[in-house]
Amino acid sequence: DAGVTQSPTHLIKTRGQHVTLRCSPISGHKSVSWYQQVLGQGPQFIFQYYEKEERGRGNFPDRFSARQFPNYSSELNVNALLLGDSALYLCASSFDGSGNTIYFGEGSWLTVV
Amino acid sequence: GQSLEQPSEVTAVEGAIVQINCTYQTSGFYGLSWYQQHDGGAPTFLSYNALDGLEETGRFSSFLSRSDSYGYLLLQELQMKDSASYFCAVRARALNQAGTALIFGKGTTLSVSS
């Protein structure tokens, strides 16, 4: 079975631009979460979606938004990119919203120049 | 607020045993998880403790004391491939919302030498 898949794996954007990151959860998983990981730090929670509804939001500005589609895949959107948005963006899926065990994708490396 | 403390670095030799401690401060605590992350890779799930006590999975064991807000990951019979970053993470209520979030510590870098 395929694990959590994310695209693109690497991308470079310019300050002020917009980026869309995509995630497909493990088949049968209904919850998707997004995390930001900067070098040398642990992942920081951005959003959780379950059954297409936002269930949780971390301490990130409104430039960050996300949505979950009927097939449970998800998009993370970041507007007006800043240099500080450069990070590894991780998507994680779980069967339900409990989050006892979540499975991470390989992530999308975003560099803002 | 929510915070987790774990040592930044641990070194050991092959075959040894290491313990990585984690103390946490959070509201709406549900459980403590441990994740392993190799350089350039995704975090992978190791263990989850919701109740006090020791959970054993092969060479890895994890312990939780809810009254002490403390847990640890025990790695036995260390191998070179165990060199990685290890994160403790607390599952907690996501800020006045229905869902939960994993709040991660800053990670412990384990270096195993021969």
Which residues are CB-neighbours of A15 under 8 A, at least 6 positions away? A81, A82, A83, A112, A113
- The residue among B99 and A66 whose pLDDT is bigger is A66
Residue A99's pLDDT is: 63
pLDDT band for B94, please (50, 70, 90 cuts). low
The alpha-helical segments, DSSP class H, found in A1-113 are none
Residues from chain A that touch B99, judged by Cβ atoms under 8 A, are 48, 50, 54-56, 97, 99
Distance between CA atoms of residues A92 and A31, nearest Å: 8
Residue in this structure with the two tokens 């384990």, named with its chain if needed: B110
Instruction: State the pLDDT at residue B96.
Output: 54
Residues 54-113 of B with CB under 8 A from A: 87, 89, 91, 94-95, 97-107
Percent of chain A with pLDDT over 70: 96
| Smallest Cα distance from B110 to chain A, Å | 13
Average pLDDT over residues A48-70: 93
A99 in reach of chain B (CB within 8 A): yes
pLDDT in tens, B68-91: 999 999 999 999 999 999 999 998
pLDDT at A70 over 60: yes
Q: Is the pLDDT of residue B14 over 70?
A: yes
- Using CB atoms, which residue from B35, B101, B106 is nearest to A58? B101
pLDDT at A6: 97
**pLDDT tens, position by position, B18-69:** 999 999 998 778 899 999 999 988 999 999 999 999 999 899 999 999 999 9
Average pLDDT over residues A60-89: 97
The answer, yes or no, to whether residue B98 has pLDDT greater than 70, is no
What CA–CA distances, in Å, run from A59 to A11, A29, B18? 24, 25, 34
Interface A-B: count of C-beta contacts within 8 A: 81
Q: What is the mean pLDDT of residues A61-88?
A: 97
Query: Per DSSP, which regions of B1-114 are E strands?
Result: 3-5, 9-13, 18-25, 29-37, 44-49, 53-57, 60-65, 70-75, 84-93, 100-104, 108-113
